[in-house]
Structure 1
Amino acid sequence: MTFQDILKIFEENDNFLILTHKSPDGDTLGSGFALCAFLRDMGKKANVVNSDSFPERYDLIYESYYPQEFDVKYVIAVDIADTNLLGSNLSKYAEEGAIDLCIDHHISNKYFAKQSYVEADASAAALIMYKIFKASGRKISRQIARCLYTGIATDTGCFKYENTTPQAHIACAELMSYGIDFAYINRKMFDVKSKGRLMVEQSVTANMEYYCGGKCSMIVLTKELMEKSGVDAAEFEGLASIPLSVEGVKIGITVKQRHENVFKISVRSDDEIDASAFCREFGGGGHIRAAGCEITGSLEEVKAKLLKQAEKVLG
């Protein structure tokens, strides 16, 4: 599938519904809202939906967005590797054939859509969107540029992660030329934290656990701790980088409680460990250095499973 094939789909269809993944991040929202704006600029009708609400943290992406009324005729998933990432409120789209097109950059993509464009070496789904829009020859609005920049910046950790490519830098340099407030975007995404978020950081850092001779570290975010902080769930993004920041650690694990016996796992690894392969053992996936999954059971059972796998990969 080529960019021209995708653009032909945009031209020949209308009434688009754009799906973004649960616990939304800057890339899925940046890609989704950029695509929505692009389609509307083409004269099409389009909406963006999420199983959760759109986090206030990303309001700079959707501040000018408004939902349109129409009967959905074409469904596009962005930055979604598997239908289990849709969330309960969008689970009906997990049915076979319900999603027409998926545009993604995860090596673990399950190819669940009727048609898929997956570029596993792309730094972000937003980078793929950028290239599609450029291939169209159409003008990119300042708001689209803002969405795309946010998506690429957040998925590369402000261009610090290993998935950062020359293409990502070049694309963002051009997006900056549209007059976007990139300094504000980066400050809001990476520097500004609420008092509640800082309290959580202090707690998980003080209680970080080390295993496998210090090569594996783990932090745990219980529902009690998160509720006590009083902050929006989106603010907990970025905590997954804390365990790997410790000298000597090769695999950092973040255990975040979603429900009583359901835990979201985020894994970050150095250049010797495949995080996606690690999470695949638990039905998850993602990128080589950053991946995730969900595990059910008590906290101690979940930790035991993770540590058994960590011991296996660390030898």
Structure 2
Amino acid sequence: MEYGEINRIFEENDKFLILTHKSPDGDTLGSGFGLCYFLRDMGKLANVVNSDGFPDRYDFMYAEYKDQDFEPEFIIAVDIADVTLMGSGLAKYQQEGMVDLCIDHHISNKHYAKLTHVEGQTAAAAHILYKIFKESGRKLRDITAKCLYTGIATDTGCFKYENTTPETHMAAAELMAYDIDFANVNRKMFDVKSKGRLKVEQAVTGSMEYYLNDKCAMITITTELMEKCGADPAEFDGLASIPLSAEGVVIGITVKQRHKNVYKISVRTTEEMDASAFCGLFGGGGHIRAAGCEIRGSLEDVKALLIEKAGQVLGI
């Protein structure tokens, strides 16, 4: 879809519901709230929903947000590659034909919406929205710019991941020209951690396991560990980068327990391996260097399966 077509959709409809993915991160929330504020500034009605609620660490994006009372007429999913990523709280929107438009940057997008706009080479969904907003010619409020900047910064690892391009930097620079206190955003997103989060980092780093001639590193985060450390599950953005930080590792795997016998898998890889293709073996997907999936079973079985498939891909 062309940006002009998407802007026409914004113009021609009045009541929007914006869906964000479960276990929300900075990009899905930055995209969701950025779009919500943009639509409200057009005089439209718009709400943002999430299956797991909105984590406190992102409260600077939604501090002034209040739900509006209306029945949605147009449903937009942002940064959601697959309906299963909506979570149980948004189950009714997972039915075929429920989502009118999906705006996403994952190459593994399942094209479940009536209309889909995917830019697999763009670093963040928030960057796509910024390009759409620029095309409209409308001026953004500072809060909208702050949301979009947060989405771009978090999905690029503060601009250090290889999905960062010159275009990414230029978009970020333009958003920094607004009154957004970007230094404080970056500090809150990347430097400030709770005591519980630091305890978890210490625990998983100390117990990291190596496989396949040390080309695969794995950390495990159980609900028991989270409870023991007193950490909120919403605080775990960025932990997935720990296994790949070990020298010589080609694939870093983070196994995080969601429920009994249900595990969220986050994969990070070097240029020697396609993370999205690997997670696709388990029904997941994402980006070439960062992807995820969900696997059911005992912890031992889940780990054994991941190691087996990684060995097959690596030829070990």
How far has the Cα of 1:51 moved from its partner? 0.3
Amino acid across the alignment from 2:95: E
- The equivalent of 2:5 in structure 1 is 5
How far has the Cα of 1:288 moved from its partner? 0.3
Amino acid across the alignment from 2:248: G
Distance 1:7 1:253 in 2: 39
1:35-61 Cα distance to aligned partner (Å, 9 max, x none): 000000000000000000100011111
* 1:222 corresponds to 2:240: no
* 1:114 corresponds to 2:114: yes
Q: Secondary structure at the match of 1:18?
A: strand
- The equivalent of 1:51 in structure 2 is 51
Amino acid across the alignment from 1:76: I
Q: Secondary structure at the match of 1:140?
A: coil
- The equivalent of 2:257 in structure 1 is 257
CA RMSD of aligned residues (A): 0.5
Distance 2:36 2:245 in 1: 36
How far has the Cα of 1:180 moved from its partner? 1.1
Q: Secondary structure at the match of 1:268?
A: strand
* 1:244 corresponds to 2:250: no
Amino acid across the alignment from 1:155: D
Q: Secondary structure at the match of 1:267?
A: strand
1:165-197 Cα distance to aligned partner (Å, 9 max, x none): 111100010101012100000000000111110
Q: Secondary structure at the match of 1:185?
A: helix
1:57-113 Cα distance to aligned partner (Å, 9 max, x none): 111111111100001100000000000000001011011110000000000000000
Distance 1:14 1:228 in 2: 47
Amino acid across the alignment from 2:192: V
Distance 2:146 2:96 in 1: 34
Amino acid across the alignment from 2:45: K
Q: Secondary structure at the match of 2:117?
A: strand
- The equivalent of 1:84 in structure 2 is 84
Amino acid across the alignment from 2:152: I
How far has the Cα of 1:313 moved from its partner? 1.3
- The equivalent of 1:40 in structure 2 is 40
Distance 2:63 2:271 in 1: 38
- The equivalent of 1:139 in structure 2 is 139
Distance 1:249 1:10 in 2: 45
Distance 1:96 1:127 in 2: 27
Amino acid across the alignment from 2:113: A
* 1:182 corresponds to 2:182: yes
* 1:201 corresponds to 2:201: yes
1:8-39 Cα distance to aligned partner (Å, 9 max, x none): 00000011000000000000000000000000
- The equivalent of 2:97 in structure 1 is 97
Aligned length in residues: 315
TM-score by length of 2: 0.99
Distance 1:230 1:4 in 2: 47
Q: Secondary structure at the match of 2:293?
A: strand
Distance 2:109 2:266 in 1: 17
Contact 1:55 1:232 in 2 (8 A): no
Distance 1:291 1:180 in 2: 30
Amino acid across the alignment from 2:4: Q
How far has the Cα of 1:237 moved from its partner? 1.0
Q: Percent identity?
A: 71
My pick for the range that moved more, 230-239 or 6-15, is 230-239
* 1:268 corresponds to 2:268: yes
Distance 1:122 1:61 in 2: 22
Distance 1:113 1:9 in 2: 14
Q: Secondary structure at the match of 2:47?
A: strand
| Structure 2 residue runs without a partner (length 5+) | none
How far has the Cα of 1:282 moved from its partner? 0.2
How far has the Cα of 1:231 moved from its partner? 2.2
Distance 2:227 2:265 in 1: 18
- The equivalent of 2:278 in structure 1 is 278
How far has the Cα of 1:230 moved from its partner? 1.7
TM-score by length of 1: 0.99
Q: Secondary structure at the match of 2:179?
A: coil
How far has the Cα of 1:298 moved from its partner? 0.3
Distance 1:218 1:257 in 2: 14
| Structure 1 residue runs without a partner (length 5+) | none
- The equivalent of 1:313 in structure 2 is 313
How far has the Cα of 1:222 moved from its partner? 0.6
